[in-house]
């Protein structure tokens, strides 16, 4: 088991955003979290690398407990990749420098090794020719792909995707999803929060439906989509396919 | 010369003298802000609505009065009139010098405010039949003045402190009084200046508080978003 | 009107100009270092370093809220009564430095706070420590954003340096006063000095604009130009 989340709780003021969430991820698995907006899905991801501190609950990465006090947080974060909805590429650095920064300063690789690796990752997401471009000179889809390359370069054990395509124009979504699909196929362990049902259906090993801070239902995509056990799941899926148009 | 806590207490007996001096600073402040306001609006209007030569003039005006040190402006205004056979009092020279400087900064504030107004305001006013000056006077300027309150707060804080420079041309204001205290009792020098500093802090924060209340009261809903 | 100028004033005035430039640049540099520390304390210090945060805030409010002249006088005439006798130059430099540090602290604070929150988060998510995130991600951006207000502050400091002639420093104003006292040509000397200041500030503005252009990065423009 690569990732295990046990009884996670988080509240903001009076609002309980995560109310007892538990699940696990095995190596090589891709799990997708779906659900209405504002139900704590993003918060859940941020708790896993402790960008947001959970109030209660425990999280393990392999046999290392992420939530313990003694753990070296920076070490853990280096092993978990995070792809943000807003890309968050470092504005003042070129694409190459963005991918290289972690290698140079966290993994302390030599400049030569870091550059080679960074270029390789950029090539992997199809942007080798944009190495010297600044984020402002790239389209949204390109920026997001660079951000995936940045996460990949760190050789993470798992990558968290926080609504990676929600900030993209429709015609750019496809290029990012196809990178993610290839990643999943190549055996990367991924936890994805998204509204892209087509992606969820074809790439996920398991789908978790979250609503009001709890996991209402989870199961393989075919089972969840075709015969959801819970009425709320069914209702959500119906609404979302009306909005997003079902099969992609 | 040892400074004891006794000195820090005794300096307060000179408090009235310092306040007296401060009142001169405040008088200066009022005068120069008034001069700066009138001139500033004029220059700003010229810069925004005038033909391009006047815009260059306005630009040059701003550049000069923002590049010359205030204390130098004071000295120029003190020695200048003599060249023309005129006699000015130190106070008047200070009001004029600092007022001219302030007008350059206030012109910038008003200009920024005027230019941040939606273009449609002028168009609508003209469509109603108002003349250009009329539109400026009745529609644009009132709004611009309200928007300027924030920048005005900054200018107030800066200029209040500049009034102390009038000391250099002989105005009997608070710095002069502090010097007087120092000459009476040397160990009181530091406490006197600290007291002056505290007085300025008090006046500054009071003034800023009043201005921020005014700004909130007269805020134009829907117009802050553009800033 | 009877104006008389003399080329003979130029050597002394140029000497004074040099000292003005020295005072300005030194106080700006030292003030920047102190200001940056104060700014970071004000932005990040509230929880972990509360006492320092409070000191930094009090410092900034005090030195921004009180006149420069008071600070200069206090350091030169006031300190001897506690046994600290500073030369006019040092007293002036000290006052100028402490003064500009407070203003620069606010400009740096504004710049740091306008770097988007996501930048810090992305840096942390990679495994960078807070300090590394500041050094490699937040500050490089903040320093680019701070150039316009910093240029303004530089100009204010050039003008502020003029004040120290009142405690006897022989910078541009100090030299001018001496010449005026000797020749009684007050107005003329001060007009020449005004031209010196105009030229100096022009040169500095142009230089800084060139620097800004060199380190500019697409996408990280001056926020004022919406």
Span of A229-233, B25-29, B202-206 with lowest mean pLDDT: A229-233
- pLDDT for A246 beyond 80: no
Contact residues, chain B, for C195 at CB < 8 Å = none
What distance in Å separates the CA atoms of residue B52 and residue B58, rounded to the nearest whole number?
A: 10
Q: pLDDT tens-digit profile of A143-170? A: 999 999 999 999 999 999 999 999 999 9
Tokens, residue C125? 């998510």
Q: What is the pLDDT of residue C224?
A: 38
Q: What is the pLDDT of residue B200?
A: 96
Separation of CA C211 from chain center:
17
Smallest CA–CA distance, residue C166 to chain A, in Å, is: 45
Q: pLDDT tens-digit profile of A70-99? A: 889 999 999 999 999 999 999 999 999 999
- Average of pLDDT values for B54-79? 92
Smallest CA–CA distance, residue C127 to chain B, in Å, is: 36
Cβ atoms A205, A29 nearer than 8 A = yes
- pLDDT for A211 beyond 60: yes
- State chain A's mean pLDDT as an integer: 92
Contact residues, chain A, for C125 at CB < 8 Å = 49, 51, 77, 80-82, 84
Smallest CA–CA distance, residue C71 to chain B, in Å, is: 8
Q: What is the pLDDT of residue A146?
A: 97
Angle at which helices B90-116 and B149-162 cross, to 10°: 160
Contact residues, chain C, for B60 at CB < 8 Å = none
For β-strands A15-25 and A190-193, DSSP reports them as: unpaired
Q: pLDDT tens-digit profile of B109-130? A: 999 898 888 888 888 888 888 8
The residues facing A30 across adjacent strands are: A190
Smallest CA–CA distance, residue A91 to chain C, in Å, is: 7
Q: How many CB pairs under 8 A join A and C?
A: 75
B138 pLDDT band (50/70/90 cuts)?
Answer: confident
Sheet (strand A15-25) strand order? A15-25, A3-12, A56-61, A64-65
What distance in Å separates the CA atoms of residue B91 and residue B166, rounded to the nearest whole number?
A: 8
pTM for the structure as a whole:
0.86
B143 pLDDT band (50/70/90 cuts)?
Answer: confident
Q: Which residue has the tokens 């505290």?
A: B198
Q: What is the pLDDT of residue B223?
A: 64
Q: What is the sign of the dihedral through the CA atoms of B107, B112, B113 and B114? A: positive
- CB-nearest to B182 from C66, C77, C173 is C77
Q: What is the pLDDT of residue B227?
A: 41
- pLDDT for A181 beyond 70: yes
- Average of pLDDT values for B46-65? 88
Cβ separation C126–A106 shorter than 8 A:
yes
C196 contact partners, CB below 8 Å, separation of at least 6: C13, C17, C172
Contact residues, chain C, for B70 at CB < 8 Å = 159, 162
Closest-CA residue of chain A to C144: A92
CB contact, 8 Å: A106 with chain C?
yes
- Average of pLDDT values for B7-14? 91
B74 pLDDT band (50/70/90 cuts)?
Answer: very high
Q: pLDDT tens-digit profile of A29-76? A: 999 999 988 778 999 999 999 999 999 999 999 989 999 888 899 999
> Which residue in C20, C63, C81 has the most chain B C-beta atoms within 10 A of its own C-beta, making it the best mutation to test that interface?
C81
Tokens, residue C156? 């204010």
- Percent of chain B at pLDDT > 70 equals 97
Q: pLDDT tens-digit profile of C211-222? A: 989 988 887 764
Q: What is the pLDDT of residue B153?
A: 87
Closest by CA to C163, choosing from A85, A51, B165, is B165
CB contact, 8 Å: B162 with chain C?
yes
Label each residue of chain A as H, E or C. Answer: CCEEEEEEEEEECCEEEEEEEEEEECCCCEEEEECCCCCCHHHHHHHHCCCCCCCEEEEEECCEECCCCCCCHHHHHHHEEEECCCCCCCCCCCHHHHHHHHHHHCCCCCHHHHHHHHHHHHHHCCCHHHCCCCHHHCCHHHHHHHHHHHHHCCCCCEEEEECCCCCCCHHHHHHHHHHHHHHHHCCCCEEEECCCHHHHHHHCCEEEEEECCEEEEEECHHHHHHCCCCHHHHHHHHHHHHHHCCCC
Q: pLDDT tens-digit profile of C82-119? A: 889 999 999 999 999 999 999 999 999 999 999 999 99
- pLDDT for C225 beyond 70: no
B222 pLDDT band (50/70/90 cuts)?
Answer: low
- Average of pLDDT values for C31-35? 97
């Amino acid at each position: 088991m690569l990732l295990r989340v046990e009884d996670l709780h988080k509240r903001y003021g009076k609002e309980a955003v995560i109310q007892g969430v538990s699940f696990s991820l095995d190596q090589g698995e891709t799990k997708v979290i779906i659900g209405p907006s504002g139900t704590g899905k993003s918060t859940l991801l941020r708790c896993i690398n402790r960008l947001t501190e959970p109030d209660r609950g425990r999280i393990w990465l392999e046999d290392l407990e992420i939530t313990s006090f003694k753990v070296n947080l920076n070490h853990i974060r280096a092993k978990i990749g995070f792809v943000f909805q807003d890309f968050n590429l470092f504005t003042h650095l070129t694409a190459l420098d963005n991918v290289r920064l972690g290698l140079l300063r966290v993994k302390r690789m030599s400049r030569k090794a870091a550059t080679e690796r960074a270029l390789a990752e950029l090539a992997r997401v199809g942007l080798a020719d944009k190495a010297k471009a600044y984020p402002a000179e790239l389209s949204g889809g390109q920026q997001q792909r660079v951000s995936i390359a940045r996460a990949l370069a760190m050789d993470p054990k798992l990558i968290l995707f926080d609504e990676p395509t929600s900030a993209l124009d429709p015609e750019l979504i496809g290029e990012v999803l196809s990178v993610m699909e290839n990643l999943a196929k190549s055996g990367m362990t991924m936890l994805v929060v998204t509204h892209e049902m087509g992606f969820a259906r074809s790439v996920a090993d398991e789908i978790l439906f979250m609503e009001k801070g709890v996991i209402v239902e989870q199961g393989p995509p075919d089972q969840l989509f075709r015969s959801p056990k819970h009425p709320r799941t069914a209702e959500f899926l119906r609404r979302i396919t009306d909005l997003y148009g079902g099969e992609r | 010369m040892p400074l004891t806590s006794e000195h820090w207490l005794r300096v307060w007996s000179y408090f009235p003298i310092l306040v007296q001096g401060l009142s001169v600073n405040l008088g200066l402040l009022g005068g120069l802000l008034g001069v700066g306001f009138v001139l500033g609006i004029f220059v700003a209007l010229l810069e925004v609505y005038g033909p391009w030569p006047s815009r260059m003039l306005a630009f040059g005006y701003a550049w000069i009065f923002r590049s010359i040190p205030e204390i130098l402006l004071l000295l120029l205004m003190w020695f200048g009139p003599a060249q023309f056979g005129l006699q000015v009092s130190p106070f008047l020279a200070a009001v004029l010098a600092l007022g001219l400087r302030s007008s350059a900064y206030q012109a910038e504030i008003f200009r920024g405010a005027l230019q941040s107004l939606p273009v449609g305001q002028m168009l609508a006013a003209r469509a109603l039949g108002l003349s250009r000056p009329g539109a400026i006077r009745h529609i644009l300027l009132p709004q611009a003045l309200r928007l300027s309150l924030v920048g005005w707060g900054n200018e107030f804080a800066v200029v209040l402190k500049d009034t102390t420079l009038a000391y250099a041309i002989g105005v009997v204001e608070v710095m002069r009084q502090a010097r007087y205290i120092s000459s009476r009792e040397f160990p009181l020098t530091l406490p006197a200046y600290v007291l002056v500093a505290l007085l300025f802090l008090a006046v500054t924060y009071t003034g800023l508080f009043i201005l921020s209340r005014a700004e909130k009261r007269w805020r134009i809903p829907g117009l802050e978003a553009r800033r | 009107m009877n104006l008389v100028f003399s080329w003979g004033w130029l050597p002394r005035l140029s000497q004074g100009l040099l000292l003005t430039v020295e005072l300005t640049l030194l106080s700006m540099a030292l003030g920047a270092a102190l200001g940056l520390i104060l700014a970071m304390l004000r932005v990040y210090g509230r929880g972990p370093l509360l006492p320092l945060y409070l000191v930094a805030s009090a410092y900034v409010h005090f030195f921004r809220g009180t006149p420069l002249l008071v600070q200069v006088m206090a350091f030169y005439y006031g300190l001897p009564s506690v046994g600290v006798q500073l030369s006019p130059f040092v007293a002036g430099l000290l006052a100028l430095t402490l003064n500009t540090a407070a203003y620069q602290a606010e400009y740096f604070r504004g710049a740091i706070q306008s770097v988007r929150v996501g930048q810090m988060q992305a840096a942390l998510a990679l495994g960078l420590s807070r300090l590394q995130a500041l050094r490699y991600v937040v500050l490089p951006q903040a320093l680019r954003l701070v150039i316009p207000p910093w240029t303004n502050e530089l100009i204010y400091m050039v003008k502020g340096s003029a004040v120290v002639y009142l405690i006897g420093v022989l910078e541009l104003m100090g030299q001018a006063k001496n010449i005026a006292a000797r020749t009684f040509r007050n107005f003329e000397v001060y007009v020449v000095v005004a031209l010196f200041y105009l030229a100096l500030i022009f040169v500095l503005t142009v230089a800084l604009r060139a620097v800004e252009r060199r380190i500019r990065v697409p996408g990280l423009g001056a926020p004022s130009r919406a």
